[in-house]
Amino acid sequence: MKRRDFLRYTAPAAILPAFINGFSIKAFGQSPLLDALNAATDNDHVLVMIQLTGGNDGLNMVIPLDVYGKYQAARSNIAIAEGKVLRLANYNKAGLHPAMKGVQQLYDEGKVSVIQSVGYPSPNYSHFRATDIWVTGSDANQVLNSGWAGRYLDKEFANYPVGFPNTDMPDPLAIQIGSIVSPAFQGPLMNMGMAITSATSFYDLLNDRLDPVPNTKAGTELKYIRLIAQQTDDFASSIKNAANKVTKQGDYPANNYLADQLKIVARLIAGGLKTRLYMVSMGGFDTHASQTNTGDTSTGTHANLLGNLSAAIKAFMDDLTTLKASKRVVGMTFSEFGRRIKSNGSVGTDHGAAAPMIVFGDYVLQGVLGNSPAMPDAASVNDNIPMQYDFRSVYASILEQWFCVKPEDLSTILLNDYQRLPIVSGIACGLITGVPDPVQNAGINLITNNPNPFTTKTSIVYKTSGGHTMIQIFDTMGRLVSVPVNMVQTPGQYTITFDGEYLANGIYYARFQNGAVQQVRTMLKVR
């Protein structure tokens, strides 16, 4: 067995003592979400990922005001009253759940980007498999053993852990707060770390006191594991030193598990830790039943979750600002999937497809990317929100615009060339991103079809600005049924004939993508 294989299948994740605010902290030298991050070794940028476990109901988080009638009709038992929706500065097509006043304030301050309908073709509705897809960056029908960022780091740091920590990187590359290790931090070949179990082993490792090992293959592996354990203790020391530099922090909401985690993250960032990536999480978003209170749909389980999320993010950003560390940070929320358009009879929602993401930070570009989700006039229990943005486009944008990864490296890291979105200011990497405004064509139909409804064939007309152009056809379950266009084209208007004779009758969505711009067209097939 190779050394890396031995560690991958036998060595547990590094578990550091619970020495900061009662939380255990796990440090990783290499992870799937870290590979591209080391390209930014000349800056001190940090990404904080907030995982909303269970499948967040995006339609009740970002409420579509311009198609509110369809939204209300599809979920009359849980719809947020239009008058209670929190409005966003200079934007009237959508608003936030009434419990999200903190995020609303950050948006109005120019520090939040809302990305509509983020998903991927042919979504999986299993919590476990969908999470795996998100953290590895795989296609729905693909199983990857490496993470979307780990592929880059494995090439750049092939000798890790030999020589680490060092003066250039004395700290762990990634930290997760909590007791469960996300698959996001699994490296392409191994998980880097060992548990620190006792004071004796702690001081033995710090002082390089190692028992002799036999001159065998097993002895070589044992020596290697002890090296990992020693580095883990060194990382524990650097975490303690950083935490001890911050003696006063801002106010965080009480009885808020996410806020407790983010308070630790703020303390470590402000203390000067060079860690690039933090992962925190909150559960409870699998709201099949009792999602809202029957008397007031703006209250209930989901409202409490969104209220805790919003209050924690606001306290975190306020704390970082006071500690003069906010400019180092970009944060983002993600969940393994969204919920269905139509609510169920249990005052809840079932597993769905696309959902919005929230990205926040001082250098984040204010705005709502994309349109309000397309919804049928009479939604059925099988109707899903059609994808507007691939989640890997968000990864690509952050890697390029925040961690300054070279554009030519992105397709290698993400295994494909995904569109980039204007999420982070070009100032962050000292350059102008050159990414066009994805809403500059608001009100202009870039894709149409005729006839609509159609029986067997329909002509699709689209306008491209040139470059890579793609048209995807999805059904209401989010399944990708056809890709009639996927090529580099010169600017102009094009017409293709789409033959849908083999498709069942019903609603389909034609998604047009041209660079950072996309639109979704609803098509209806009838007999």
Question: What is the per-residue pLDDT for 206?
Answer: 33
Q: What is the pLDDT of residues 445-499, one digit of tens each?
A: 899 999 999 999 999 999 999 999 999 999 988 899 999 999 989 999 999 999 9
- Same domain assignment for residues 468 and 506: yes
Instruction: Give the residue, 367 or 164, on which the prediction is more confident.
Output: 367
Question: What is the per-residue pLDDT for 164?
Answer: 65
Mark which of 429, 456, 483 sits at the end of a domain.
Answer: 429
Residue 36 belongs to a domain: yes
pLDDT of 2 over the 80 cut:
no
- Same domain assignment for residues 301 and 217: yes
> Per the structure, how many domains does the chain have?
2
Q: Is the peptide bond before 438 cis (omega within 30 degrees of 0)?
A: no
Question: What is the per-residue pLDDT for 184?
Answer: 44
**CA 331 to CA 261: how far, in whole Å?**
14
- Same domain assignment for residues 368 and 247: yes
Question: What is the per-residue pLDDT for 62?
Answer: 98
Residue 101 belongs to a domain: yes
Residue 438 belongs to a domain: no
- Same domain assignment for residues 378 and 521: no
**CA 6 to CA 112: how far, in whole Å?**
43
Mean pLDDT over 164-177 rounds to 74
User: Roughly what angle, to the nearest 10 degrees, separates helices 301-322 and 257-270?
Assistant: 20
- Same domain assignment for residues 514 and 465: yes
Q: Is the peptide bond before 183 cis (omega within 30 degrees of 0)?
A: no
pLDDT of 97 over the 90 cut:
yes
Q: What is the pLDDT of residues 26-54, one digit of tens each?
A: 554 444 444 444 444 457 889 999 999 99
Residue 32 belongs to a domain: yes
Residue 229 belongs to a domain: yes
Residue 439 belongs to a domain: no
Mean pLDDT of the chain: 82
In the chain, what percentage of residues exceed pLDDT 70? 76
- Same domain assignment for residues 199 and 51: yes
Helix (H) or strand (E) holding 329: strand 329-334
- Same domain assignment for residues 96 and 238: yes
**CA 222 to CA 163: how far, in whole Å?**
18
Residues whose CB is less than 8 angstroms from the CB of residue 298 and which lie 6 or more positions away in sequence, other chains included: 80, 81, 84, 97, 98, 99, 292
Instruction: Give the residue, 510 or 6, on which the prediction is more confident.
Output: 510
Give the domain CATH number at 512: 2.60.40.1930
**CA 363 to CA 379: how far, in whole Å?**
38
- Same domain assignment for residues 395 and 490: no
Taking phi over 0 as left and psi of -120 to 50 as alpha, with beta for the rest, 250 belongs to beta
Is the separation of the CB atoms in 522 and 485 below 8 Å?
Answer: no
Q: By residue range, what is the domain housing residue 461?
A: 447-525
